[in-house]
Chains A and B, each alone.
Chain A
């Protein structure tokens, strides 16, 4: 795979667009499953930026950080989905607006 002439800032542009879309989803959705999905999108966007930067400098560090992000995402989804199950059991809904017992 030689002759890679993709401009770095284009990749970063894609990454930041993905991040913004993920964040928008995080803010507008109430369903906890969608919230978790939005988080995945944002993590993925960050991972893309890391890998692109690593490729830009020809260093492996970017991919290593990508793998760290991967493990974080895996752990987060495992715990997060466990919480989804509990929320469903306790509130009989996945709407996070109804889970507001932390109100001060």
Chain B
């Protein structure tokens, strides 16, 4: 039963950290909560028998991608006044409508999930199996992912160049 207890704890942490991340005015604070949330999800991955995915989640998501965010936020040097404006935005009149929409979506998802039945047991999938499938039937997906990353690389290089600001 330990795993189940751990799962509920991780799930609670993930949800709480996400809610906090979404409501922070300060970007760095939000980012740290987000990292916590990602780590909690990594725990869930581990618990449901996907250790390889859990490792990737930590290394790439919580590590590389979030570090990128940190870099950019540091570069932009957002001041206290930006935080103040962000706080002002969190008024009920602003989030009431979106919250209703989100709730509707969640309710529908809930309804769909409630119909799911089946065995409660999970089966572990080792990194070896994943690797075999990845370079077997899914080799095309690997190619597509590599092209996507290349496109991302070129795109971010282009957008990051400084001369673009001289076009003004």
Interface of A with B (CB < 8 Å)?
1-14, 16-25, 27-31, 33-34, 36-38, 40-41, 44, 47-48, 51-52, 54-64, 66-68, 70-79, 81-86, 88-90, 94-95
Q: Within the assembled complex, what's the spacing in Å between the Cα atoms of A10 and B123?
A: 16
Interface of A is mostly: helix
- The docked-state distance in angstroms from the alpha carbon of A32 to that of B138 is 34
Q: Is the contact region of chain B dominated by helix, strand, or loop, or is it mixed?
A: helix
Please determine whether B65 and A77 come into contact, CB atoms closer than 8 angstroms: yes
Q: A30-B86, A56-B123, A81-B156 are in contact. List 10 more A-B contacts (CB 8 A).
A: A3-B3, A14-B14, A17-B106, A21-B19, A37-B21, A58-B124, A60-B129, A60-B134, A75-B148, A78-B153
Chain B interface category by residue count: 35 or more
Contact check, A60 vs B133: say whether CB atoms are below 8 A apart: yes
Task: Report B's interface with A, CB cutoff 8 A.
Answer: 3-4, 7, 11, 14-15, 18-19, 21-22, 27, 30-31, 34, 37-38, 41, 44-53, 56-57, 60-61, 64-65, 68-69, 72-73, 75-76, 78, 82, 85-86, 89-90, 94-95, 98-99, 101-103, 105-106, 109-110, 113-114, 116, 118-125, 129-130, 132-134, 138, 141, 144-145, 148-149, 151-153, 155-160, 164-165, 168
